[in-house]
Structure 1
Amino acid sequence: PDLAPLDTDDAADTTDTRPLVLIVEDNADVAEYMSMQLRSRYRLAVAHDGEEGLRMATDTVPDLIITDLMMPRMDGYELCQAVKQSEVLNHIPVIIVTAKTTQQDRLRGLQMGVDAYLNKPFNAEELTVRVDNLLEKHRMLRERYMQAKAEHKADASAELSPRDRAFLKRVDEIIYGDMSRGEVTVDSVASALCMSQQQMRRKLSAVTGDTPLAYIRALQMKRAQELLNNHADVAISDVAMKCGFFDTSHFTRAFKQALGVTPTQYRKKM
């Protein structure tokens, strides 16, 4: 039977904030069974083989991927490898569903970054527990990072995985580079990352909990504080320019919104 169109439409629903799970399964009955178990808790997208799965993952940047191992065109291991090698997707946990898991299979999966296995035949409860646990683990990492950032810890990104740290380092370098050239936009950062705005938004939100605009603004304010703290002779308009603001009054409003005082008041307090 064909899959209910509901599943793939779920992926496009931006008002629904539940995590998005991508199911990659060439057996329509198995895919429908999984969908039935997960539909009440998660948004779902369904792909019918590994190639379609990779394409849909790249388009939607899901929160978790469940993939069958044995599939035509691209099997579960190849899909997992492609996901883990993609900067857009490499933060996403992957569960492989398989009837055969020898020690050799598991070793190969570990080398490719498989996060969990689900052995066939599996029951509904085991499926939901696996999905819940992996999503919770990633949510905890993000929460710890957000907490460390809220406490202004210099090494907040130490809470993240090495892959996520590398991604944020690259994002920061791009944003600081754009600032020094005078203007930062979500579009310019996404372009430099070779991502669409949607891909960057999904990825950045999954890793940090921030929207791209909020993340950029936080770095601009951090840079502004450094300049105001260390360069008493630099005019506020020049500080604004160095933080990527052409309009000093826009900069002043953003600074006051973030820190509760204007740049001039902040400097006087020093």
Structure 2
Amino acid sequence: MASEQDAIPSIQQSTDPSIQPSSDETIILVVEDNADMCAYIRQHLEPAYQVLEAADGIDGFDKAIASIPDLVISDVMMPKMDGYQLCEKLKTDERTSHIPVILLTAKAEREDKLEGLETGADDYLTKPFDAEELQIRVKNLIALRHKLQEKFKQQMVLRPSEISITSFDEAFLKKTVAVVEEHLEDESFSPDDLARAVGMSRAQFYRKMRALTAQPAGLFIRSIRLQRAADLLKKGAGTVTEIAYKVGFSSQPYFSKCFQEHFGMSPKEYKEKNS
């Protein structure tokens, strides 16, 4: 049987020009108790991505909560908490449920792969694997997340139940939208207030929202305000100024400017077109 060391290819500098930084903020957390394997993975993901490391599942979960990475790569066989347990914990925690997970294992049996997929793993790599395969799988999972972000951005109405995401993320988004709607008339309601209301730290909430919607939390709040304004304009529920106040804008000119940017027409034009 091949040893763990046999599963680690020699470390060479990656020269693939397609593996370029997708974002300065793209963070990958590698959870692996073998230092050589960690070094191999880091060698072929940096500088395209910022790589963090953890030596076991418990440390990995703590670092995932602290950093909210864009992707987790985890070994299966580890002390304290194995990769299956870590994956399940990440996928069932509201703070980390959106994060794609790749599991690494020296086992190639179908049952082992199924167990990983059942815990919510997004992909599987069997050791030994080469650098190109690792890079492609990472790149594809991050691209898939970006497509999901684009789907959010293109929707004029945010309806979380129509988005193909995990039930935990759907519940999180519904809760987040509901909290914003409860504070629509409060102009001072901020992203920090929203983070506290959903039970997350500022950093956790900001990275979660960016991962799911590709928007800063402030723009997310504003987009909900503007959409609700559009709904009120359709119903003829007041003048433009009255509706601006109802959705948290104290300045009617600023409201009109934001509305124009969001919908491509003024509130008055929108009302006339949809009345």
Q: Please confirm whether the aligned pair reaches a TM-score higher than 0.5, indicating the same fold.
A: yes
TM-score of the superposed pair, with normalisation by structure 2: 0.80
CA-to-aligned-CA distance 1:54-78 (integer Å, 9 cap, x gap): 1111111111100111111111111
Aligned to 2:258: 254
Residue identity in the other structure for 2:49: Y
Aligned to 1:86: 93
Closer, same or farther in 2 for the Cα pair 1:262/1:153, shift >3 Å? Answer: closer
Aligned to 2:78: 71
CA-to-aligned-CA distance 1:213-247 (integer Å, 9 cap, x gap): 11111111111122223235x35454233212345
Aligned to 1:222: 227
CA-to-aligned-CA distance 1:185-226 (integer Å, 9 cap, x gap): 101111111112221221111111111111111111111122
Q: Structure 1: 5+ residue runs without aligned partners?
A: 1-15
TM-score of the superposed pair, with normalisation by structure 1: 0.82
Q: Which has the larger share of helix? A: 1
RMSD: 2.6
The match for 2:213 among 185, 188, 208 is 208
Aligned to 1:128: 135
Aligned to 1:245: 249
Aligned to 1:58: 65
Contact 1:142 1:160 survives alignment (8 Å):
no
Aligned to 2:175: 170
Contact 2:97 2:166 survives alignment (8 Å):
no
Q: Structure 2: 5+ residue runs without aligned partners?
A: 1-22
Q: Give, in whole Å, the separation in 1 of the partners of 2:227 and 2:66.
A: 32
Aligned residue-pair number: 252
CA-to-aligned-CA distance 1:15-60 (integer Å, 9 cap, x gap): x525211111111111011100111321211112211111111111
Contact 1:158 1:165 survives alignment (8 Å):
no
Closer, same or farther in 2 for the Cα pair 1:162/1:105, shift >3 Å? Answer: same
Closer, same or farther in 2 for the Cα pair 1:103/1:212, shift >3 Å? Answer: same
